A and B are shown apart, each in its own frame.
Chain A
Amino acid sequence: VFDQFLKRLEDREVLGTAAQKALSQSFREQKLDPETLRKAMFKAEEPPV
């Protein structure tokens, strides 16, 4: 479920790159509490170097 869900978010570009990456990591580490997921979901993009 998690893999398909993350793939679908990526395919549909629901999140930015940083948020997608952070959310994937939260799911992979099974950190599924609302606070962690929210932080990941709204993670801002890194400013360009």
Chain B
Amino acid sequence: VIRIEKIEIIEFRGIRKLVLDFGGKSFGIAGPNGTGKSGIVDAIEFGLTGNITRLGGAGTAEITVRAHAPHVDIAKSPEKAIVRLTVNAPALGKTIVIERSVRAASEPTVTPNDPSTRALLAEIQVHPEFALSRREIIKYILTPAGERSKDVQVLLRLDQIERARLSLQRIANDTRREHSRAQSDDARAKQDFIQHLGIKTATKTELLAAVNERRALLQLEPLTELTTGTQFKQGVIAGGSGDEMKLKSRLSKVGTLADLASFEVYASAMTSGKVIEDAEQALNLLDRLTADPTVLRHFRQKVLLEQGLALIEDEACPLCDTLWNLDELRAHLAQKVKQASAANELLTALGERSALIASSFENLTIAIQKIVQACGQAEPKIDTSPLSNFADNCDAERKTLETVEGDPSLIDAARAVLRRVGEHIPAAASDVIALLKAHAESLPDPSKEDTAKEYLIIAQEKYERCQTVKADMDAAAERETIAAKVFSEYGAVSTAVLEGVYDTVQKDFTAFYSYVNRDDEAKFEGKLTPSVGKLAFDVDFYGRGKFPPGAYHSEGHQDGMGLCLYLALMKHTLGAGFVLAVLDDVLMSVDAGHRREVCSLLKTHFPKTQFILTTHDPVWLQFMRTEHLIQGSINFGGWTVESGPQVWNEGDVWKQIEDKLAASDVSGAAGTLRRYLEFISTILADNLHARVEYHANGHYDLGDLWPAVIQAWKARLQEAKDSAVSWGNVVTHIEALQTDARKRIADTQSEQWMINKAVHYNEWANLQAHELAKVAAAYRDFLKSMQCNNSPCSQFLAVTPPRGQRQALRCGCGQNNFNLTVK
């Protein structure tokens, strides 16, 4: 999306002030551990996103960008910690300057500040995967399938796909529950209607027969059709609703006895085997939910996180008020909700079971409410307190069962409710029922006509109620069908697309890794296998089968796999937009034999990508330069808390030495010269195939390296001359180089180290300033003589190939190219 032209880092992490001009090209940064390389990576990420990923995550609970991104000496002045980036956005065709201070990390100053630039920055902020450390890149390889699925989905920008899937699943689940509840309502309304009519089944014939029997008593026309608009009470009430009002204000013997009969039905259902079995199953699910602490924790977190997500209003965490970027905070919580979905399966089953029992509670509560109403119409009124209390309890228990699925604090209460299922109604409540029944039975029987009137009026009410409830149920059924179908279609499409995505990624991954390891794993194959919420990753191990990458492959190979998978993912995600990758020491374990292939892979497959690479290995950096992977580089030679990284640009080193000598700091100048020569002789020894005495501890000082470099330089020049002679070529230029080398080496007096202690590098600190200046100049000139004098190249001459039979001594641009092979 963007290329970095230039970065200015001020008082940030371990850096006091540093300006790097990348020129939009690939760039390498080398230096021993602890010299500030990662500070540059942090600065790039911070400049572009306002965040530093490696200050988050496991083991960093007390570390924050605001408190710990500024240099330690200005920790209390975060406004002084600034990163200024000049970037080029090819897609927008413009150069953008982004300045961000730690104090106002989420409010960068952007020039030009237009909508397209802001949209670009917002996109980068949400997906900061352009910058990765080895630790982050290896997580794609060595994590459990569930974690890998999430990480890879974020990298592929598929997290929104998962978010939509969860939402559609929730809608499908909700509508299914709503339909189930509507069915209960419908069954209850029908039961109530049939109960009132006194028929066994709700067939048209039976129903009309029962109604017409009452209509005949009132000398009304019989009904022949049953439609939604059928009026059972047609002709009963002439000229108003007076009779109806009268009916409703007095206690109806028939109606009350019917309500009591309904109550008995629902009360006995509560103690039936079916409800008890449902309760046992729900209890079992609750036990499983609480038996596994991880699942329970996920349940609790899910609810909390969902609430938190809904409470976000400004750029601060609703719980702890920590300042966040709004979008990042939402994305962070959404990701956490997703992680907490492990308990979903159990919760869904629990919800379904609880809903069935809750429905029985609701039936009973509604039946009791009718009894309570009847008690109020009795004369004298019947005290319903025990029954009302029981109804209130039933209703509270229903609510507990209906909401436990989304509220972990109700687990114990729900368990208690479920254990009480099957218990009989309290005696005091039963007494109220008995009192009402006795009272109703004692009422005088109404006339047949009045009974018929009441029968038809109430039948009409219940019939209309049935129709309303049925319409609601049909609508709920339709919603359930639609939601299920939408969810199913989404699943089918996303699975097909994701399989295609993973198939492409796995092919690219295999191609990249095989390319890097074509010498020993040319037939390598990697396989990504997606399943719900997981992404398995297996790789071939020398034709012995497919195994997880960590099973048999070495750390170096795992590093290579991490890089190849990352590249495959980024290629798929960004395509031509993959123009920046900042990789912090991601190839630390890649062995020397595969470095050329890694460079070649990056160069040939990603020619338009700007790579900013750090390494603790100066030889690796030199190799990247030689292979033209990077066009610019910087070396850090050391670091102090006061001054930050010591930069070793070649020109800068000699200037630093001059400055120190001018300030009479001979000791400092001697130290700088020695450290630089140690650093550069590591590279030269590798370049020239120098023979260095092996040290098991891997530590080589100047005394080990420099004499070997001198010998190797002389030997390679002689080999070049021998080759030229054997081919009959002119040797004038080579002889001139040999003569020059002898003079330069003599000037450095380094061949005298062993026999003349006075000129040994250990004595440099004891020289006079002008004496050390002469020594430094001699080394500078000698080093210069080993470099290409074509300034854009300026490379130290190196033997090719890097290992094995020496074929040529050459620079990067080809201006110097000496054959080393004798005819």
Which A residues are within 8 Å of any B CB, using their own CB?
1-2, 4-5, 8-9, 12, 14-15, 27, 30, 32-34, 37-38, 41-42
Contacts and interface: CB of A to CB of B under 8 A. Distances in A.
Contacts of B489: 5, 8-9, 12, 14
A42 B485 CA distance: 13
A19 B594 CA distance: 56
Contacts of A15: 482, 486
Interface string B444-483: 0000000000000000000000000000000000010011
B130 to A, nearest CB: 21
Interface string B549-582: 0000000000000000000000000000000000
B164 A4 contact: no
28 contacts: A1-B158, A2-B161, A4-B493, A5-B489, A5-B490, A5-B494, A8-B492, A8-B493, A9-B486, A14-B482, A14-B485, A14-B486, A27-B164, A30-B160, A32-B160, A32-B163, A34-B166, A34-B167, A34-B170, A34-B171, A37-B167, A37-B168, A37-B171, A38-B171, A38-B483, A41-B171, A41-B483, A41-B486
A3 B482 CA distance: 19
A41 B483 CA distance: 8
Chain B interface helix/strand/loop/mixed: helix
Nearest to B493: A5
Nearest to B162: A32
B178 to A, nearest CB: 11
B383 to A, nearest CB: 45
Contacts of B483: 38, 41
Nearest to B163: A32
B757 to A, nearest CB: 74
Interface string B158-184: 101101101110110010000000000
Contacts of B496: 4
B663 interface: no
Contacts of B485: 14
A27 B493 CA distance: 15
Contacts of A27: 164
A14 B489 CA distance: 9
Interface residues of B, number: 24
Nearest to B170: A34
Nearest to A7: B493
B479 A42 contact: yes
Contacts of B160: 30, 32
A9 B174 CA distance: 20
Contacts of A38: 171, 174, 483
A10 B158 CA distance: 23
Contacts of B163: 32
Contacts of B168: 37
A4 B164 CA distance: 14
Nearest to B475: A42
A-B pairs, 6 with minimum CB distance:
A34-B167, A5-B493, A34-B170, A32-B164, A1-B497, A38-B171
B482 A42 contact: yes
Contacts of B492: 8
Contacts of B498: 1
Contacts of A1: 158, 161, 493-494, 497-498
Contacts of A41: 171, 482-483, 486
B267 to A, nearest CB: 36
A24 B6 CA distance: 42
Given A9-B489, A12-B489, A2 B482 contact: no
Contacts of A32: 160, 163-164, 167
Nearest to B489: A8
A15 to B, nearest CB: 7
B205 to A, nearest CB: 37
A26 B283 CA distance: 39
Contact of B164 (A2, A12, A14, A42): A2
Given A1-B498, A5-B490, A5-B494, 9 more contacts: A2-B164, A4-B493, A4-B497, A9-B489, A15-B486, A34-B166, A37-B171, A38-B171, A38-B174
Interface string B477-512: 001001101100110111011100000000000000
A46 to B, nearest CB: 18
A27 B164 CA distance: 9
Nearest to B501: A1
B338 to A, nearest CB: 12
Nearest to A37: B167
A12 to B, nearest CB: 7
Nearest to B483: A41
Nearest to B495: A1
A36 B682 CA distance: 62
B633 to A, nearest CB: 41
Contacts of A2: 161, 164
Nearest to A30: B160
A30 B698 CA distance: 55
A15 B168 CA distance: 14
B711 to A, nearest CB: 63
* Residue of B170, B489, B498 with most chain A CB atoms under a 10 A cut-off: B489
Nearest to B175: A38
A26 B213 CA distance: 57
Nearest to B479: A42
Interface string B353-381: 00000000000000000000000000000
A1 B486 CA distance: 14
Contact of A33 (B167, B490, B497): B167
B306 to A, nearest CB: 10
Interface string B297-310: 00000000000000
Nearest to A4: B493
Nearest to A5: B493
B663 to A, nearest CB: 60
B126 to A, nearest CB: 11
A34 B166 CA distance: 8
A5 B485 CA distance: 12
A15 B483 CA distance: 10
A18 to B, nearest CB: 13
* Residue of A4, A27, A34 with most chain B CB atoms under a 10 A cut-off: A34
Nearest to B491: A5
Contacts of A33: 167
A8 B163 CA distance: 19
A4 to B, nearest CB: 5
A14 B158 CA distance: 24
* Residue of B164, B166, B490, B496 with most chain A CB atoms under a 10 A cut-off: B164
A24 B482 CA distance: 16
Interface in B204-239: none
A27 B521 CA distance: 44
Interface string B657-668: 000000000000
Contacts of A14: 482, 485-486, 489
A1 B168 CA distance: 14
Interface string B593-624: 00000000000000000000000000000000
Interface in B122-175: 158, 160-161, 163-164, 166-168, 170-171, 174
Nearest to B173: A34
Contacts of B174: 34, 38
A33 B164 CA distance: 7
Nearest to B164: A32
Contacts of B497: 1, 4
Contacts of B170: 34
B495 to A, nearest CB: 10
